Every structure is written in structure tokens, then in C-alpha cells.
């Protein structure tokens, strides 16, 4: 379906009935990045999975920002008549979800953060700016190859070629300018303030994740007032795709579902 969000048209999948669960994809992802989670919880929740601006089926504007995306998600909930939602975010989507919880704490029941990012380090900000330039000059093919090599675990690359192929396809089909704008949004993103996020939070990450290293995830968990953490062996940064059963099991335990 299509939703009007602050004057823009977003592609958004909505399925199931019950309490709302908003799923926010990461950089290079789309609503389809959440397929294992959506399928597992469609009989328990009303699943809302948008393609954020510049990703998948949603066109990009002239500029994007992480706080702006958080405000847009709040407007999406309003457009769908959702007062309060559970929210899950992956990678860049986890940072957007943290900002949403800071912006409107009364609208977020709890958070699940996969491959979580509280703030890009300086080296990552520089690399993201360079990657935006590469997308604009060379397109998505070289970026897709690099992300598959560095973002997926060694185990995934060796034993789960379908996952590698799916991630490559997700990235290769992104609009290059939309991807570049999302890179710049993340490169310039203000850090989250974990102490302000008082709702329950589950952090799920891989022990072979170079983007969200275990030490950084542990530090974020310690800074959040009400957090628990699950580390998945043999998993890289694409948590729900690399370890779908384990990710869903962690979420079920968190939700009591």
C-alpha cells in the first residue's frame, strides 16, 4: 500500500492484526529485509514495514536526516491510526528507532534493535560520506560486493549463499542517489541519548559483526536504563537474514509471544 507521510508518498506493507509492530530497515535494506520476522509475527501483531525514503519502492527527496526520519515514522503511525507501537530497527534503522523513542516516548512501547548503532564513530562518518560519492559515480554494484564481503559473517558467506545473494540483490537494486542520501543522513546523524530511552529494549547482534562490534553493543546495553542483550554466534551485521530463527526466538522471548 501507499501512505502519505509529511507530504511524501511512502511504500508500506501492512499485514496481520492486533498490536502494532513497526519494523524499520537499515541502510541498503527495504521492507523485505524483515521477511523472516514479518512471517513469524503476522499472526500476533499488525506488522508495519515501510520502505524509507530513497530505499526500495519509496522515492527520495532532496535531503534526509535521522531525526527527520524519526519524525516521519511518527507521522506514518498517525496516518495509520496507530497510537502506540512496538518498534524494531536494524542498523541505521536502530538509530532512527532510538530517535523515535526519544522524540515520542509515549508512542513507543518497547524497542528491538538489531545490529544496533547509537552513533556512527568518526571513521564510519568519513567512510559513509565516501560511499555516497561512490554510489553517485559508480552505481551500486561495487558497494553491493563490498557490503557482502564485510557485512556478512564468514559463516554466512561460506554456508548460506542464498543469504549472500539476497543481500547483494537488495543493494544492487537500490536507487544510487537515494542510497547516497541515506549514507549522508547517517554520516551526519546526531547520536542517540540512551539515558532518555526508558522503555524496555532488546539488543540482538552477531559476534562477527564489524559494523556493530560486540564491545559497542555491550556499551549501549549498559547505557540504556532497561535493556537486555543477545549475541548470536556466526552472525554478521544482517541479523534477521543471517540468523532468522535465532532472531525470532529472541524477539519471542522479549515479547512473551
CA angle 176, 182, 187 (to 5 degrees): 125
Residue 87 host element (H or E): strand 85-90
Query: In whole angstroms, what separates CA 93 from the centre of its chain?
Result: 3
Residue 195 to residue 205: CA distance in whole angstroms = 20
- Strands 45-50 and 108-114 turn out to be unpaired
Interval 202-243: pLDDT, tens: 999 999 999 999 999 999 999 999 999 999 999 999 999 999
Residue 76 to residue 53: CA distance in whole angstroms = 12
Say what the pLDDT of residue 62 is: 76
Interval 98-122: pLDDT, tens: 999 999 999 999 999 999 999 999 9
* 160 in a structural domain: no
Mean pLDDT lowest for which of 58-62, 81-85, 145-149?
58-62
The DSSP symbol for 32 reads: G
Containing structural domain, residue 196: 2-119+192-255
Residue 221 host element (H or E): helix 214-223
Are 113 and 201 within 8 A, CB to CB?
yes
Question: Following DSSP, what letter does each residue of 5-60 receive, concatenated?
Answer: ETTEEEEEEEE--SEEEEEE--TT--GGGGHHHHHHHTTTEEEEEEPPTTSTTSPP
- Strands 8-15 and 2-5 turn out to be antiparallel
* 222 in a structural domain: yes
Residue 41 host element (H or E): helix 35-41
The number of distinct structural domains making up the chain is 1
* 52 in a structural domain: yes
85 beta partners = 20, 108
* 112 in a structural domain: yes
* 84 in a structural domain: yes
Cα four-point dihedral sign 243, 211, 52, 55? negative
Which set of grid coordinates corresponds to residue 153?
Answer: 559473517
* 215 in a structural domain: yes
171 beta partners = none
* 185 in a structural domain: no
Say what the pLDDT of residue 227 is: 97
CA angle 126, 238, 61 (to 5 degrees): 55
**How far are the Cα atoms of 120, 144, 158, 219 from residue 166, in angstroms, in the given order?**
25, 11, 14, 31
Which pLDDT band, with edges at 50, 70 and 90, does 46 fall under? very high
Interval 157-183: pLDDT, tens: 999 999 999 999 999 999 999 999 999
**pLDDT of 5 over the 90 cut:** no
Say what the pLDDT of residue 6 is: 84
The average pLDDT across 81-107 equals 98
Interval 117-159: pLDDT, tens: 999 999 999 999 999 999 999 999 999 999 999 999 999 999 9
**pLDDT of 257 over the 90 cut:** no
* 105 in a structural domain: yes
CATH code of residue 224: 3.40.50.1820
Say what the pLDDT of residue 24 is: 98
Amino acid at each position: 500500500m501507499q501512505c502519505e507521510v509529511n507530504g511524501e508518498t511512502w511504500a508500506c506493507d501492512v499485514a496481520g492484526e492486533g498490536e502494532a509492530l513497526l519494523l524499520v530497515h537499515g541502510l541498503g535494506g527495504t521492507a523485505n529485509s524483515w521477511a523472516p520476522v514479518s512471517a513469524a509475527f503476522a499472526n500476533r501483531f499488525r506488522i508495519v514495514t515501510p520502505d524509507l525514503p530513497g530505499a526500495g519502492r519509496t522515492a527520495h527527496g532532496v535531503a534526509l536526516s535521522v531525526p527527520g526520519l524519526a519524525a516521519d515514522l511518527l507521522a506514518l503511525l498517525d496516518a495509520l491510526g496507530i497510537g502506540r507501537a512496538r518498534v524494531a530497527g536494524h542498523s541505521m534503522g536502530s538509530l532512527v528507532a532510538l530517535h523515535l523513542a526519544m522524540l515520542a516516548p509515549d508512542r513507543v512501547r518497547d524497542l528491538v534493535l538489531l545490529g544496533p548503532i547509537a552513533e556512527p564513530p568518526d571513521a564510519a562518518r568519513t567512510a559513509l560520506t565516501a560511499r555516497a560519492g561512490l554510489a553517485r559515480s559508480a552505481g551500486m554494484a561495487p558497494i553491493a560486493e563490498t557490503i557482502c564481503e564485510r557485512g556478512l559473517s564468514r559463516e554466512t558467506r561460506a554456508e548460506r549463499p542464498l543469504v549472500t545473494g539476497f543481500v547483494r540483490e537488495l543493494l544492487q537494486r537500490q536507487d544510487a542517489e537515494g542510497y547516497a542520501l541515506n549514507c549522508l543522513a547517517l554520516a551526519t546523524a546526531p547520536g542517540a541519548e540512551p539515558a532518555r530511552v526508558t522503555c524496555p529494549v532488546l539488543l540482538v547482534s552477531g559476534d562477527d559483526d564489524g559494523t556493530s562490534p560486540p564491545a559497542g553493543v555491550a556499551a549501549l546495553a549498559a547505557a540504556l536504563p532497561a535493556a537486555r542483550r543477545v549475541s548470536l554466534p556466526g552472525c554478521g551485521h544482517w541479523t534477521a537474514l543471517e540468523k532468522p530463527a535465532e532472531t525470532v526466538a529472541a524477539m519471542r522471548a522479549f515479547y512473551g509471544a
